Amino acid sequence: MLFIVFVGLFALIALRAPIFVALGAPALAYLHFKGIPMGIASQRITGTVNDAILAAVPMFLLAGRLMNFCGATERIFGLAQAFVGHIRGGLGYVTVLASMIFSAMSGSAAADAVGVGTVTVKAMRERGYDPSFAAAVTLSSSTLAPIIPPSIIMIIYGATANVSIGRLFMGGIIPGLMIVLMLMAMVGFLSHRRGYPKGDRFSFKTLIKSGRSAFFVLLTPIFIIGSIFLGICTPTEAGVLAVAYVMILGFSYRTLSFRDLYREMVGAGTAVGALLLIVSISGLDGWIFSREQLPNLLTGSVTGITTDPTLIMIMILAVVLVLGMFMDATPIILMVVPAITPLIAVAGIDPLHFGVLFCIMCVIGLITPPVGVALYGVSMVSKLPLERVFWASLPFFAMLLLSIAVMVFVPTIITFLPSLMFGD
């Protein structure tokens, strides 16, 4: 019967059915044919979303949407350009740096891809860069949004796998910075090889002016991460703090009106409603997986092949990469994590180390066809075909995979900062 559930699930996904239908319909069919009361469905659905940590999702999502009314993208771009724009291929470095800063506020790869891409792709075109290179840099650097905290994906993963959200946030900082350096190295290599232009000469006056313009915007991630670092706020409370601060900025700059605020709250509520519908229905699937002893079957199958923790981790991450080519990150987390959590425990794998890697691998799927949300966003912004953007992104894609490989074999890259801040 479990096999039929999986067949129905993937068949509905292939038919482009809404994710909540693909997750829910086979589960309800399972209950019907097994003669299980349908009341179980409502209990599992409501019980899954009855988790306070999920309240952080709408807060960070709304904060990210409201950042657009503070001129955040333009201010961050201006600061990054004043800092590294004078180097050969400078706008490529600017794109990566701006994405890194913006990611510490939005937590969404799609928002990063469209928000930063709207400014960077146009600027690079005007300076004589290959449009496909501009799109590729924007796309690959958008993966930083769910890695550098705050991260909506990490919140969902932490709630599903019962891993500390604060530790996941801290665990994503050094990997995020490492990926920034790897992407910048590829930007430098391609820029020198193709002879891309240098920007305006470096000027302390311009840097100070840009810094002043972006100063209060840059305080947003400091408030978010600092409050969690110092133990002042939980991630959920930090999300509320971020929304309040961004609202103050918007009203202070006179770029946010009450009408805009209402519209963005409705938009964020609509997006969160759809997301939590998927999360709630996934609870029923998780209950079915447990009832059919899928975690035990999976553990036995994998440990029958190998008991090496590193190989087990690589096998799971490879599956996640393939799934990411066809599904969004949230359904992958909700489907896979409940089944593999016992396997991770049996194999003796650090749940924090694995959790951050799992989230990063989910993010890689956002930039791959055929269902990459960020890929579609950059393609739309750059007005280039999907395949052209993806092929241009392959060198950066390789750097992302190389970064993950290093993190697999050097777990302290992920675990050092959480251990330092929260202890073992």
Give dist(CA 216, CA 214) in Å, integer.
6
Please indicate, yes or no, if residue 193 is contained in any of the structural domains.
yes
Give dist(CA 386, CA 120) in Å, integer.
18
Q: What residues make up the domain containing 243?
A: 53-422
Both tokens assigned to 202: 């470096």
SS3 17: coil
Q: What is the mean pLDDT of the chain?
A: 81
Whether 117 contacts 96, CB under 8 Å: no
Whether 247 contacts 112, CB under 8 Å: no
In this prediction, what percent of the chain has a pLDDT beyond 90?
A: 12
Whether 175 contacts 403, CB under 8 Å: yes
- Count H helices, E strands: the chain? 20, 0
Kindly state the average pLDDT of the residues 404-417.
94
- Please tell me which of 13-17, 116-120, 161-165 the model is most confident about, judged by mean pLDDT: 161-165
pLDDT in tens, 47-89: 777 766 677 778 877 887 787 777 777 787 788 778 777 787 7
pLDDT in tens, 3-24: 777 778 778 877 777 777 887 8
Give dist(CA 314, CA 49) in Å, integer.
30
Please indicate, yes or no, if residue 237 is contained in any of the structural domains.
yes
Q: Is pLDDT above 80 for 422? A: no
Reference 342, options 398, 399, 294, 392; nearest CA is 294
Give dist(CA 229, CA 317) in Å, integer.
29
Q: Is pLDDT above 70 for 156? A: yes
- Please tell me which of 221-235, 285-299, 347-361 the model is most confident about, judged by mean pLDDT: 347-361
Give 246's pLDDT tier (boundaries 50, 70, 90).
confident
Q: What is the pLDDT of residue 352?
A: 94
Q: What is the pLDDT of residue 181?
A: 93
Q: Is pLDDT above 80 for 200? A: no
Please indicate, yes or no, if residue 348 is contained in any of the structural domains.
yes
Q: Is pLDDT above 70 for 110? A: no
Count of beta carbons in the 10 Å neighbourhood of residue 233: 19
Sorted by sequence, the CB contacts under 8 Å of residue 168 that are 6+ apart come out as 149, 151, 154, 157, 158, 352, 355, 356, 359
Total domains, the chain: 1
Lowest mean pLDDT among 19-28, 35-44, 82-91, 206-215: 82-91
Q: Is pLDDT above 90 for 416? A: yes
Please indicate, yes or no, if residue 38 is contained in any of the structural domains.
no
Q: What is the pLDDT of residue 406?
A: 95
Give 354's pLDDT tier (boundaries 50, 70, 90).
very high
Angle at 154 between CA 9 and CA 54, to 5 degrees: 80
Give dist(CA 342, CA 15) in Å, integer.
31
SS3 289: helix
Give 109's pLDDT tier (boundaries 50, 70, 90).
low
Q: What is the pLDDT of residue 107?
A: 59
Q: What is the pLDDT of residue 106?
A: 63
Task: Please give the C-alpha separations between residue 34 and each of 21, 235, 282, 298, 374, in angstroms, as whole numbers.
Answer: 20, 40, 19, 22, 40
Please indicate, yes or no, if residue 366 is contained in any of the structural domains.
yes
Q: What is the pLDDT of residue 111?
A: 63
Kindly state the average pLDDT of the residues 245-257.
86
Please indicate, yes or no, if residue 398 is contained in any of the structural domains.
yes
- CA 389 from chain centre, in angstroms, equals 20
The radius of gyration of the chain from alpha carbons, rounded to an integer in Å, stands at: 22
Q: What is the pLDDT of residue 343?
A: 85
The residue assigned the tokens 């928002």 is 111
The answer to whether the predicted template modeling score (pTM) of the entire model surpasses 0.85 is: no
Kindly state the average pLDDT of the residues 302-326.
83
Reference 59, options 234, 312, 206, 239; nearest CA is 239
Q: What is the pLDDT of residue 185?
A: 92
Give 119's pLDDT tier (boundaries 50, 70, 90).
confident
Please indicate, yes or no, if residue 78 is contained in any of the structural domains.
yes
Q: In this predicted model, which residue has the larger pLDDT, 11 or 183? A: 183
| Burial per residue of 158-189, b for 16 or more beta-carbon CB atoms within 10 angstroms, e otherwise | bbbbebbbbbbbbbbbbbbebbbebbbebbbe
Q: What is the pLDDT of residue 347?
A: 86
- Please tell me which of 185-199, 214-228, 229-243, 318-332 the model is most confident about, judged by mean pLDDT: 185-199
Q: Where are the alpha helices (DSSP H) in 292-350?
A: 294-305, 309-324, 329-347
Give dist(CA 397, CA 271) in Å, integer.
28
The residue assigned the tokens 């701006």 is 98
Give 371's pLDDT tier (boundaries 50, 70, 90).
low
In this prediction, what percent of the chain has a pLDDT beyond 70?
A: 92
Please indicate, yes or no, if residue 18 is contained in any of the structural domains.
no
